[in-house]
Amino acid sequence: MSPRGALETGATWLLALLWISPLLYALWAAFHPAEFAVTFDPLAPLTLENFREALARAPFPRYMLNTFILVTMLLAAQFVLCTLAAYAFARYRFKGADIAFALVLVQLMIAPEILIVENYATLAHLGLVDTILGIGLPYMASAFGIFLLRQAFKSTPKELEEAARLEGCGTLGVLWRVYVPLARPTYLAYGLVSVSHHWNNFLWPLVVTNSVETRPLTVGLGVFGAPESGVDWSVVSAATLLSVAPLMLAFLLFQRQFVQSFMRAGIR
């Protein structure tokens, strides 16, 4: 390698190390006793005490269950609603389709959390404040999902649909047997983006929830980590790692899919 190449490689490594260091630091703090939080002694004893303490102070398993229920329910609803709407836009040239589609795209810009004041009022009318359904409901008809699936359905050969019709499939049968299976990569990409977005979402769940039974991880962590709670740093680190661990593990296992999905999500 040329000296210049070696220099560039070194610079890359240095920047990468700098970039990951806040996370490495959180790992360090979480697995060492509090007195080693800023003393980097390689011989410092490892401990799980911070995790035990975090779990004793706040019901993180319950929060995790809430988040899990939220993202699963939401994703299932999004798949159904967005599939139906996307199919309508892709294959039925119905009256008003163009205007309706333009209106759908508005939601790409104006996410439900921008309208917290009115959406909270709506939820109160429906009696859904402080429910997991209430956190998910505004996001179920996702403009982004409709958009992605419409593109996927549009690229499906029409001949396949005609063949299925000849075999006696109805509208939903064609959708289920032809379009959905062929759009599998799109469902995967959208699913990863949706799950990670809602796993991490904070503002809207914060407004909607006020009890342990409904609070997702981010809100639980927000309550836990607030400086006025007086919990020491190593325990906050442990709690933070607990909250991000499932998504982080998924990311490490399926890195390529994650990066590609995020990219598709960006380039709309």
Partner 1 sequence: MRHVIGWLLLTPAAILLIAFTYWPIGATVADSLFSRGNPIRPSRFIGLENYALMADDPIFWQVLWNNALFALGTIPASITLALLMALMVNRALPGRALARMAFFTPTILPMIAVANIWLFFYTPDIGLIDQIAGLVGLPGHNWLGDPDTVLGAIIVMTVWKEAGFFMIFYLAALQTIPPELWEAARLEGAARWTYFRRILFPLLMPTTLFVLINAILNSFKLVDHLFILTKGGPDNASNLLLYYIFETAFSFFDTTYAATLTVVLLALLAVLSLVQYGVLDKRIHYR
Q: How many helices (H) and strands (E) does the chain have?
A: 15, 0
Residue count of the chain, please give it. 268
What is the smallest separation between the CB atom of 217 and partner 1, expressed in angstroms? 8
Residues 82, 142: contact at Cβ < 8 Å?
A: yes
Nearer to partner 1, 43 or 267 (CB): 267
Phi first, then psi: give them for residue 139, nearest 5 degrees. Answer: -100, 0
- What's the CA gap between 54 and 237, in Å, rounded? 9
Nearer to partner 1, 186 or 196 (CB): 196
What is the smallest separation between the CB atom of 184 and partner 1, expressed in angstroms? 20
What is the smallest separation between the CB atom of 149 and partner 1, expressed in angstroms? 11
- What's the CA gap between 204 and 137, in Å, rounded? 11
Nearer to partner 1, 47 or 122 (CB): 122
Nearer to partner 1, 76 or 263 (CB): 263
- What's the CA gap between 104 and 99, in Å, rounded? 9
What is the smallest separation between the CB atom of 150 and partner 1, expressed in angstroms? 11
